[in-house]
Amino acid sequence: MNNNRDDMRTLWYDDNSRQLQIIDQTQLPHTRKVVVIDTLEQACDAIVHMQVRGAPLIGITAAFGVHLALKRDPDTLSAACETLAKTRPTAVNLQWSLTRLAEGLVSVPPVQRAEAALEMAKTLLAEDADACSDIGDFGLALLRDLLEAKQARGGEATLNVLTHCNAGWLATGAWGTALAPIYKAHLAGLSVHVWVDETRPRNQGASLTAWELAHSGVPHTLIVDNAGGHLMQHGLVDVCLVGSDRTTAHGDVCNKIGTYLKALAAFDNQVPFYVALPTSTIDFAIEDGLSEIPIEERAASEVSYMPGLDDTGKLRSVAIAPLGTRVSNAGFDVTPARLVSGLITEIGVFPATAEGLMDIKAWL
Ligand code: MRU
């Protein structure tokens, strides 16, 4: 399997022009626009305004941001890391990547730091692509087992997977986390169909996951966020597969707001609920997700306005609530470990328990 899927990349470094380039995800699904990120400020803006988003990709972008800062002034390592660390609070990959850069660069003479940071950022990107590919392989085995079990029970020959938010290649170095097993299953000829939660308020499911799956020809159906429970009650979901922005040492999982409700519905309907994540998304320093994970509170306008194309094909934003309505907009929620059937990582599938997480730690 080719891990360097150029058609599955949302961020790359062009060695000829020596430029960091990204697909601007705020323009999807209507326009595939590539923008150049040239400065630390642009890297920070891209993360804050979600031109890049998704836990692994935020960490990768931050690593390139350190390089860009050092290219301008080699004595700004800690200041750059501090600035980048403030861009988004929930995904631990940001902190993980900045710590790795800071520790790796501190002993490098300042004049060589920018190049060393670039090499480290490229390595992070390549490692994440490989990790996601491996997640895909482990997840594929799981999906194959689920499909065979379904067929043995006399069920239809298609596996219905429900996913939330966008945990595809747009959120990672390549392949994705939750979508990687789906891509691998599709490539291996398994019949899979994906229920795509729209994922209010920013609609990452509708605008990004649906776009990605269409790009690869994976059968899918877009649903409103509230439909999952109904579909599960009617036996139309065989497995839920989501990503994670931070996983605790006891197996709690923090992901896009609404994930918890899907896990509850899955539990009530005996639908397996798996979380796919690179180990860079595990925060071994914390145990209790509910009390310890910082949850990002995002702008009210994300809830009270909705962007989209008008009849003339022009991108517009329209108000969907009375002007001035008070809004609450937590970006993430925590799914307790007891609702998680397993964690699909690049080193295998583990139980979402303290013991499972200890086993992962022992591998690293
Ligand atoms: O706010 P976003 O779009 O950055 O949130 C992304 C998610 O919640 C993903 O599911 C998560 O990062 C895991 S996937 C790689």
The DSSP annotation for 206-232 comes to IIIIHHHHHHHT--EEEE-GGGHHHHH
Any ligand 1 atom below 6 A from CB of 133: no
Cis peptide before 29 (omega within 30 of 0): yes
- Is residue 4 in a domain? no
DSSP code, position 111: H
**Cα-based angle 202, 206, 209 (whole degrees, multiple of 5):** 105
Shared-domain flag, residues 77 and 175: no
Shared-domain flag, residues 116 and 139: no
Residue nearest to atom 6 of ligand 1 (CA): 54
- Is residue 257 in a domain? yes
Q: Per-residue confidence of the chain (364 residues) as pLDDT tens digits? A: 445 567 889 999 999 999 999 999 999 999 999 999 999 999 999 999 999 999 999 999 999 999 999 999 999 999 999 999 999 999 999 999 999 999 999 999 999 999 999 999 999 999 999 999 999 999 999 999 999 999 999 977 999 999 999 999 999 999 999 999 999 999 999 999 999 999 999 999 999 999 999 999 999 999 999 999 999 999 999 999 999 999 999 999 999 999 999 999 999 999 999 999 999 999 999 999 999 999 999 999 999 999 999 999 998 999 999 999 999 999 999 999 999 999 999 999 999 999 999 999 999 9
Quick one: which atom of ligand 1 is closest to the CA of 171? 15
Any ligand 1 atom below 6 A from CB of 167: yes
- Is residue 292 in a domain? yes
| Contact between residue 95 and residue 62 where contact means Cβ atoms under 8 Å apart | no
Residue nearest to atom 14 of ligand 1 (CA): 167
- Is residue 6 in a domain? no
Angstrom distance (rounded) from CA 118 to CA 104: 12
Any ligand 1 atom below 6 A from CB of 56: yes
Quick one: which atom of ligand 1 is closest to the CA of 242? 10
Shared-domain flag, residues 114 and 190: no
Distance 50 CA to ligand 1 centre (A): 10
The pLDDT value recorded for residue 4 is 57
Q: Which of 94, 126, 158 is a domain's end point?
A: 126
Angstrom distance (rounded) from CA 57 to CA 51: 11
Angstrom distance (rounded) from CA 349 to CA 356: 9
Any ligand 1 atom below 6 A from CB of 89: no
The pLDDT value recorded for residue 7 is 81
The pLDDT value recorded for residue 8 is 87
Distance 246 CA to ligand 1 centre (A): 10
| Contact between residue 276 and residue 167 where contact means Cβ atoms under 8 Å apart | yes
Any ligand 1 atom below 6 A from CB of 243: yes
Q: Which of 111, 126, 141 is a domain's end point?
A: 126
| Contact between residue 164 and residue 205 where contact means Cβ atoms under 8 Å apart | yes
Total domains in the chain come to 2
Quick one: which atom of ligand 1 is closest to the CA of 58? 4
Any ligand 1 atom below 6 A from CB of 87: no
Residue 292, class by beta-carbon neighbours within 10 Å (0-12 exposed, 13-18 middle, 19+ buried)?
A: middle
Residue 235 φ/ψ region, left for φ over 0, alpha for ψ in the -120 to 50 degree band, beta for the rest:
left
The pLDDT value recorded for residue 290 is 97
The pLDDT value recorded for residue 1 is 41
- Is residue 2 in a domain? no
Shared-domain flag, residues 213 and 83: no
- Is residue 159 in a domain? yes
Shared-domain flag, residues 243 and 221: yes
CATH of the domain at 231: 3.40.50.10470
Any ligand 1 atom below 6 A from CB of 172: yes
- Is residue 91 in a domain? yes
Shared-domain flag, residues 64 and 181: no
Any ligand 1 atom below 6 A from CB of 255: yes
DSSP per-residue codes, 322-344: -TT-----B-EEEE-GGG--EEE
Active site positions, annotated: 245
Any ligand 1 atom below 6 A from CB of 177: yes
CATH of the domain at 99: 1.20.120.420
Shared-domain flag, residues 258 and 354: yes
Q: Which of 126, 148, 173 is a domain's end point?
A: 126
Distance 177 CA to ligand 1 centre (A): 10
| Contact between residue 297 and residue 56 where contact means Cβ atoms under 8 Å apart | no
Angstrom distance (rounded) from CA 97 to CA 1: 27
Distance 157 CA to ligand 1 centre (A): 30
Distance 110 CA to ligand 1 centre (A): 34
Angstrom distance (rounded) from CA 289 to CA 266: 20
Q: Which domain range does residue 339 map to?
A: 133-363
Quick one: which atom of ligand 1 is closest to the CA of 167? 14
Distance 6 CA to ligand 1 centre (A): 21
- Is residue 359 in a domain? yes
